Amino acid sequence: MMESKIKRKFIKIITEVLKKHGKTIEDIRYISNLEHVKHWIDWRTFISKETSTLDYDTSNFIIVGDNWWIDRTYEGASGFPCWNFRTMPKRPKWGYEQYQAYRRIYHKEA
């Protein structure tokens, strides 16, 4: 009974995080445990299991999509859990050599 309540809360929170970032449950590719990265599980299998090797109420797993992931950290001294939606950072416009050439041309030292 308690597990299904935790599971429903977990699904609701993850759905809200995804929606906030323009994603849906269908965008999830897999879930993995950060401590035991040798295995992964898809969303449907994860949710359909009565008990899962990935605990719904811990912070040691990530939910992964294409070029994004969701993980959980704990905020401040209160230890309040916070789900974080993360994406790959954008690559800078210039490489190191290009930037150095730009600086030599436009930022000549007097």
22-32 pLDDT tens trace: 999 999 999 88
> What is the 3-state secondary structure of the chain?
CHHHHHHHHHHHHHHHHHHHCCCCHHHCCEEEECCCCCCEECHHHHHHCCCCCCCCCCCCEEEEECCEEEEEEEECCCCEEEEEEEECCCCCCCCHHHHHHHHHHHCCCC
Give the pLDDT mean for 93-101: 81
pLDDT in tens, 61-95: 789 999 999 988 877 777 777 889 999 888 777 78
Q: Is the pLDDT of residue 39 over 60?
A: yes
> Judging by DSSP bridges, how do beta strands 80-87 and 68-75 pair with one another?
antiparallel
The pLDDT, as a whole number, for residue 17 is 94
